Structure 1
Amino acid sequence: MDFPVTFNIFDKAILAHPLFEAAGIFIGMRYYFYLKRKSAEKMSFNTSAAVLIGATAGALIGSKLIGNLENPYTLFENFSFKRFWTNNTIVGGLAFGLIGVEWAKKIIGHKESTGDLIVFPLILAMIIGRIGCFLTGIHEETYGIPTDSFFGMHLGDQYLRHPVALYEIVFLIVLWIVLKIIKKKNKFPSGFIFQLFMICYFSFRFMLDFIKPKVDIIAGLGTIQLVCIAIIFYYFFKLKSAKIVNSR
Structure 2
Amino acid sequence: MDFPVTFHLFGKTVLAHPLFEALGMFIGMRYYFYLKRKSKEKTPFNTSAAVLIGATAGALFGSKLIGNLENPYKFFEHFDLKTVWTNNTIVGGLAFGLIGVELAKKIVGHKASTGDLIVFPLMLAMIIGRIGCFLTGIYEETYGIPTDSIFGMHLGDQYRRHPVALYEIAFLIILWIILNSILRKNKYPSGFVFQVFMLSYFTFRFLLDFIKPRLEIAGNLGTIQIVCICLIIYYIYKIKNTFLFNHL
Q: TM-score, normalised by structure 2?
A: 0.99
Structure 2: which amino acid aligns with 1:179?
L
Give the structure 1 partner of residue 105 of structure 2: 105
Matched with 1:121 is: 121
Aligned counterparts of 1:234 and 1:191: Cα–Cα separation in 2:
14
Q: Deviations over 1:178-229 (max 9, x none)?
A: 1111110001000000000000000000000000000001121001001111
Counterpart amino acid of 2:6? Answer: T
- How many matched pairs? 248
Superimposed CA distance per residue, residues 130-174 of structure 1 (whole angstroms, 9 cap, x where no aligned partner): 000000000000000000111000000000000000000000000
Q: TM-score, normalised by structure 1?
A: 0.99
Task: Please tell me whether residue 218 in structure 1 is matched to residue 218 in structure 2.
Answer: yes
2 CA distance for matches of 1:74 and 1:213?
A: 15
Matched position secondary structure for 2:214: coil
Question: In the alignment, what sits opposite 2:148?
Answer: 148
Percent identical residues: 76
Residue identity matched to 2:85: W
1:245, 1:127 → 2: CA distance?
Answer: 34
Deviations 1:93-145 (A, max 9, x none): 00000000001111111110000000000000000000000000000000000
| Structure 2 residue 180 is the aligned partner of structure 1 residue 162 | no
Describe how 1:2-151 pairs up with structure 2 within 5 A: 2-151=2-151
> Match of 1:241, as an amino acid?
N
- Residue 47 of structure 2 aligns to which amino acid in structure 1? T
Query: SS of the residue aligned with 2:242?
Result: helix
Letter in 2 for 1:75: F
| Structure 1: gaps spanning 5 or more residues | none
SS of equivalent residue, structure 1 residue 13: strand
Q: AA paired with 2:111?
A: K
Matched, 1:178 2:178: yes
Coordinate RMSD, CA, aligned: 0.7
Partners of 2:76 and 2:170 in 1: CA distance: 36
